[in-house]
Amino acid sequence: MTTLALRPFEFFFAQYRRVWRGSAITSVVTPVVYLLALGVGLGVFVDRSATLPGGISYLEFVAPGLLAGTMMQIATFESSWPVLSAIKWDRQYHAMLATPLRVGDVLLGHQAWVAARLTMIATIYLVVIAAFGGVSSALGVLAIPVAVLVGVAFSAPIAAWAAHTETEVSFVAIFRFLILPMFLFSGTFFPISSLPAALEALAYVTPLWHGVSLCRQLTLGDVAIWKAFGHLAYLVSFAAVGLAFARYTYRKRLVL
């Protein structure tokens, strides 16, 4: 299984090589712009008037949030349109399944590719954050794998949905009504304690909040070990359940 699953990976890599320049530039420019606007620009105002838990700067607060939130968005994108396309429009999955590859290989190979893309982007992101002074501990390096895990916790269930749905219309709704609110209200830009009690409870349930919290603990070097394990376990279960669902919907859609 493992070696077979690496083969689709090569396809996605070959496809990526055609667009890597544009993609690499975007990967660097996006965090720079976000950190300039929010960490530096908005941060000046925030730091002047408010005190964040632990007395940290707003840049230090928001940077890990942006990292985790961006991973969620990229992962969701990479597992929505590309998955449906490989089933329905460009049909690359069908090409793969005519060869020794099995449905599980196709799914794992694609998800492995998404994880690899996330690793590249998370690494660039963390370097940019560090350059802005947003990483105050060497433990911050571990925010890279955690951010990738946040991404997979989204990409796996989204891939499951994409293999189930007939059209792409739901993808826009997912972005608008699930991903965007999570990006804004999961402790990314402000502590969720500022939310009304009901929404705060809701925020605890989102995998993004767990991802943001864990990334923040790592970049600040302020790790509460049991909480950290809790966050990890939550994210891992999302990824695992998502993969199991995806395996089911892939099979249902591709093996007729």
Partner 1 sequence: MTAHDGQPLVHAHGLVKRFGELTAVDGVDFDLKRGEAFGFLGPNGAGKTSTMRMIGCVSPVTEGTLRVFGLDPARDGVQIRGRLGVVPQMDTLDMELTVRENIVIYGRYFGLPRRALGTRADELLEFVQLTERANDRVEPLSGGMKRRLTIARSLVNDPEVMLLDEPTTGLDPQARHVVWDRLYRLKQSGVTLVLTTHYMDEAEQLCDRLVVMDKGKIAAEGSPRELIERYSTREVVELRFENGRPDDFGYWTDGLVSRVESLPDRVLLYTDDGDAAAHELHERGLVPDSVLVRRSTLEDVFLHLTGRSLIE
> Between residues 91 and 176, which has the closer beta carbon with respect to partner 1?
91
Considering the rule CB under 8 A, would residue 164 count as an interface residue with partner 1?
no
Considering the rule CB under 8 A, would residue 39 count as an interface residue with partner 1?
no
Considering the rule CB under 8 A, would residue 120 count as an interface residue with partner 1?
no
8-state DSSP, 41: I
Considering the rule CB under 8 A, would residue 195 count as an interface residue with partner 1?
no
Q: Among candidates 151, 82, 92, which has minimal Cα distance to 118?
A: 151
- Distance of closest approach, residue 98 Cβ to partner 1, in angstroms: 4
Considering the rule CB under 8 A, would residue 8 count as an interface residue with partner 1?
yes
- Distance of closest approach, residue 5 Cβ to partner 1, in angstroms: 11
Considering the rule CB under 8 A, would residue 101 count as an interface residue with partner 1?
yes
Binding mask 237-256 for partner 1 (x = CB under 8 A): ------------------xx
Contact 13, 113 (CB under 8 A): yes
- C-alpha 250/C-alpha 13 separation (Å) is 21
- C-alpha 87/C-alpha 80 separation (Å) is 11
Cβ atoms within 10 Å, residue 217? 23
**Binder of partner 1 out of 2, 3, 51, 167 (CB under 8 A):** 3
- Contacts of 140 by beta carbon, 8 Å cutoff, 6+ apart: 126, 129, 130, 218, 219, 221
- Contacts of 245 by beta carbon, 8 Å cutoff, 6+ apart: 156, 157, 160
Contact 110, 127 (CB under 8 A): no
Residues comprising the chain, all counted? 256
- Distance of closest approach, residue 94 Cβ to partner 1, in angstroms: 5
> Between residues 19 and 172, which has the closer beta carbon with respect to partner 1?
19
Helix, strand, coil abundance in the chain, percent, nearest 5: 85, 0, 15
- Distance of closest approach, residue 35 Cβ to partner 1, in angstroms: 32
Considering the rule CB under 8 A, would residue 90 count as an interface residue with partner 1?
yes
Considering the rule CB under 8 A, would residue 22 count as an interface residue with partner 1?
no
Considering the rule CB under 8 A, would residue 127 count as an interface residue with partner 1?
no
Q: Which stretch binds partner 1 (CB under 8 A): 8-16, 135-143, 172-180, 229-237?
A: 8-16
Q: Which residues bind partner 1 (CB under 8 A)?
A: 3-4, 7-8, 10-11, 14-15, 18, 90-92, 94-102, 255-256
